[in-house]
Amino acid sequence: MNQIDLNGQVAVITGGAQGIGFAIARRLVASGAHVSLWDMNGELLDKAVAELGSAATSISVNIANYDAVSAAVAEVEKSRGSLDILVHSAGIAGKNAPLDEYDLDEWRRVIEIDLNGAFYVNRAVLPGMKARNYGRIVNIASIAGKEGNPNASAYAAAKAGVIGMTKAVGKECAKFDIAINAITPATAKTRILDELKPEFIDYMLSRIPRGRFLEVEEAANMVAWLVSRENSFTTASVFDLSGGRATY
């Protein structure tokens, strides 16, 4: 494992109690950071913090509630004295259905969590980062946001929105020492697969030239560099983790 120096850094990881978020938390702790894990599952949060030890704390946060997100940011900044890194990993897959049959409430739910939630979290952390003239943000989008997946229009639309938002806000903050980037993973073996039909999972696997799903540690390895001080120039960019699937 390459050594990334994050000593003294404070990182917030949404969706940090499980899956890609937890793998990133583990890697950032190994690099010297303190991590604040945000998730809605209190049981998983307790388990994650116990595994990571004294370098981790947790807050139960609903990212679709801006007031809750803002309060959580204030809590981290007060207790840790800073908030240097945001890795926004929380999200849902939503149900599978053709667009003309897609349930209206389910569409709103996916957009509220996957797109509006990303906006809320980025919006809440940026004032402090600007005031301190330092920050690193990685928004976890998806290959679906670049290419689309049939019968998953809400998820694809939300993740495309995250990509566009990241490019816009990265340009807005380029005059600061703030780097804001996104990654676009292909499917990883995480709990999010529990929401999907087996035939849809098989379809996504068939689209990956590597012939396998992403390992969560592979995502963590890329993110560790993106949130380091060494990433001092690249911003408003999208990094592919699709196993060769992406065509651009």
Distance between CA atoms of residues 64 and 73, nearest Å: 14
Distance between CA atoms of residues 4 and 201, nearest Å: 34
Q: Which residue has the higher pLDDT, 205 or 87?
A: 87
**Among 82-91, 160-169, 191-200, 239-248, where is mean pLDDT lowest?**
191-200
Structure tokens, 247: 């065509």
**What pLDDT, on a 0 to 100 scale, did the predictor assign at position 142?**
96
Distance between CA atoms of residues 153 and 26, nearest Å: 32
CATH of domain 10-240: 3.40.50.720
Distance between CA atoms of residues 189 and 19, nearest Å: 8
* Percent of the chain whose predicted confidence (pLDDT) is above 70: 98
Only one residue has tokens 């340009």, namely: 171
Residues 6+ apart with CB under 8 A from 118: 88, 139, 161, 162, 165
* pLDDT higher than threshold 70 for residue 101: yes
What is this structure's pTM? 0.94
Q: What is the pLDDT of residues 182-231, one digit of tens each?
A: 999 988 877 766 767 788 788 888 888 998 989 999 999 999 999 999 99
Please identify which of the residues 102, 120, 155, 203 carries the catalytic annotation.
155
Domain definitions of the chain by residue range? 10-240
Cβ 123 vs Cβ 139: under 8 Å:
no
Active site residue 155: yes
Task: Name the band, by pLDDT with cuts 50, 70 and 90, for residue 241.
Answer: very high
Closest CA to 142 of 89, 206, 178, 179: 89
Residue 238, helix vs strand vs coil: strand
Distance between CA atoms of residues 15 and 21, nearest Å: 5
Q: What is the pLDDT of residues 27-84, one digit of tens each?
A: 999 999 999 999 999 999 999 999 999 999 999 999 999 999 999 999 999 999 999 9
Distance between CA atoms of residues 140 and 118, nearest Å: 9
Kindly write down the DSSP assignment for every residue of 81-143, as one continuous string: S---EEEE--------B-GGG--HHHHHHHIIIIIIHHHHHHHHHHHHHHHHT-EEEEEE--T
**What pLDDT, on a 0 to 100 scale, did the predictor assign at position 118?**
98
Distance between CA atoms of residues 155 and 144, nearest Å: 7
